[in-house]
Amino acid sequence: MEAAGVLVRGENGPALIPEVTQQDPTQFHLKAATIITASESGDIVGFYHSHPDGTTALSVQDTRSMRIGGRPSWPGLTWLVLSVINGRCVDMCAYMWNSDRREFLSVAVLIDE
Ligand SMILES: [Zn+2]
């Protein structure tokens, strides 16, 4: 089962708005209601999803859904991909659109504790 959701920066700091049902292990879907809930919780800054027993590399399906007509489908947002092995997150990678190279490139993830 794949996990997915929305990354939000709210008044009380960052938050994850999870999508509840993800039955397909190879792709994820975010319902409009989840995105609306996220937008009511703060500023949407990105999306996250897991790759069960996979790496953090973007899949063909990922790159398709991240673009519309060769441009980012959600300009300015970050896409966070989690590698989950045996039910445990072992790695993560964030991707942002690079307008010069016209592709998504990995960017550093800083965790503020
Ligand atoms: Zn993916």
* Domain positions in the chain: 4-107
Alpha carbon of 12 to ligand 1 centroid (Å): 28
Span from the CA of 14 to the centroid of ligand 1 (angstroms)? 22
Give me the sign of the Cα torsion angle 67, 73, 78, 82. negative
Q: How far is the CA of 53 from the centre of ligand 1 (A)?
A: 11
From the CA of 9, how far away is ligand 1's center (Å)? Answer: 22
Task: Could you please state the CATH topology (level 3) that the domain comprising 4-107 is classified under.
Answer: Cytidine Deaminase; domain 2 (3.40.140)
Evaluated on CA atoms 84, 15, 110, 30, the torsion sign reads: positive
Q: How far is the CA of 79 from the centre of ligand 1 (A)?
A: 9
For residue 80, how far is its CA from the centre of ligand 1 (angstroms)?
9
pLDDT range class, residue 108, cuts 50, 70, 90:
confident
pLDDT digit string (tens) for 23-45?
776 777 888 999 999 999 999 99
Residue in this structure with the two tokens 């991909």, named with its chain if needed: 81
Computed on alpha carbons and rounded to an integer, the radius of gyration of the chain in Å comes to 14
Helical ranges in the chain per DSSP H? 32-41, 60-65
Task: Provide the pLDDT for residue 109.
Answer: 81
Q: Is the Cβ–Cβ distance between 94 and 109 less than 8 Å? A: yes
Is residue 93 within 8 A of residue 109, CB to CB? The reply is yes
Task: Specify the pLDDT at position 12.
Answer: 83
- For 37, other C-beta atoms within 10 Å of its C-beta total 13
User: What predicted TM-score, i.e. pTM, was given to this entire model?
Assistant: 0.88
